[in-house]
Structure 1
Amino acid sequence: MPTIGFIYPDHAAEDDYPLAERILGDGTALPVEHIYGTDLHAVPELLDLGSPARLAEGASLLARHEPDAVVWACTSGSFVYGWDGAAEQVAGLSEAAGGKPASSTSFAFVHAAQTLGVRKVAVAASYPDDVAKLFVEFLGRGGVDVVSMSAADIDTAAEVGELPPEQVVTLTVDRDHPDADALLVPDTAMRTLGLVDDIETRIGKPVLTANQVTVWEGLRIAGVTRAYDGLGTLLRTEGRR
Structure 2
Amino acid sequence: MTTVGLLYPGHAAEDDYPRMETLLTGVRVSVVHTDAEETPARLPAGGVAGAVEAGTTGRLADGMEELRLSGAEAVVWASTRGAFGAGWEGAQEQVRSLALAAGLPASSTAVGFAHAARAVGAKSVAVAAIYPQEAADRFGAFLQEAGLEVLATRAAGVATAAEAARWDGDRLLELVRAADHPEARAVLVPCTALRTVGHLPALESAVGKPVLTANQVTVWEGLRLAERHGAWSDELGALFARRD
Q: Please say whether Structure 1 and Structure 2 have the same fold, judged by a TM-score greater than 0.5.
A: yes
Q: Which amino acid aligns with 1:36?
A: D
Measured in 2, the distance between the counterparts of 1:46 and 1:4 equals 19
Gaps of 5+ in 1: 40-44
Tell me the equivalent position of 1:63: 68
The CA deviation string for residues 106-153 of structure 1, in whole angstroms up to 9 with x for no partner, is 111100111122111110101111211221111111111110001111
Q: CA deviation at 1:37?
A: 3.0
Do the aligned partners of 1:76 and 1:187 also contact (CA within 8 Å) in 2?
A: yes
- Give the Cα–Cα distance (whole angstroms) in 1 for the partners of residues 185 and 81 of structure 2: 23
Letter of the 2:112 counterpart: A
Unpaired runs of 5+ residues, structure 2, are 52-57
Q: CA deviation at 1:61?
A: 3.1
Structure 1 stretch 51-60 or stretch 14-23: which is displaced more?
51-60
Equivalent of residue 139 in structure 1, options 128, 136, 143: 143
* CA distances 1:151-201 after superposition (whole Å, capped 9, x unpaired): 111111111011122212222222211121110001111100111111101
CA separation in 2, counterparts of 1:145 and 1:185?
A: 15
Give the alignment of 1:1-241 within 5 angstroms.
1-24=1-24, 26-38=25-37, 48=42, 52=48, 53=51, 55-97=60-102, 99-229=103-233, 230-236=235-241, 238=243
Tell me the CA shift for residue 58 of structure 1.
Answer: 2.8
Q: How many residues align?
A: 231
CA contact (8 A) 2:9 2:37 kept: no
TM-score (norm 2): 0.89
Deviation for aligned residue 1:15 = 0.4
- Percent identical among aligned pairs is 47
> In the alignment, residue 209 of structure 2 is paired with which amino acid?
K
Query: Structure 1 residue runs of 4+, over 3 Å off?
Result: 45-49, 51-55
Q: Choose 132-141 or 168-177, whichever is displaced more.
A: 168-177
Deviations 1:4-61 (A, max 9, x none): 110101011100000000010x22110111011349xxxxx99649x63553233233
- The corresponding residue for 1:42 is none
TM-score when normalising by structure 1: 0.90
- 1:80/1:46 Cα in 2 relative to 1: closer, same or farther (>3 Å)? farther
Contact 1:71 1:104 in 2 (8 A): yes
Q: What value does the CA root-mean-square deviation take over the aligned residues? A: 1.9
The answer to whether the Cα contact below 8 Å between 1:161 and 1:190 also exists between their aligned partners in 2 is yes
Please give the secondary structure, in 1, of the residue aligned with 2:229: coil
**Relative to structure 1, is the Cα distance of residues 168 and 46 closer, same or farther in structure 2, using a 3 angstrom cutoff?**
farther
Q: Which moved further from structure 2: 68-77 or 162-171?
A: 162-171
CA distance in 2, matches of 1:56, 1:38: 14
For 2:63 and 2:92, locate their aligned partners in 1 and report how far apart those are by CA, in whole Å: 17
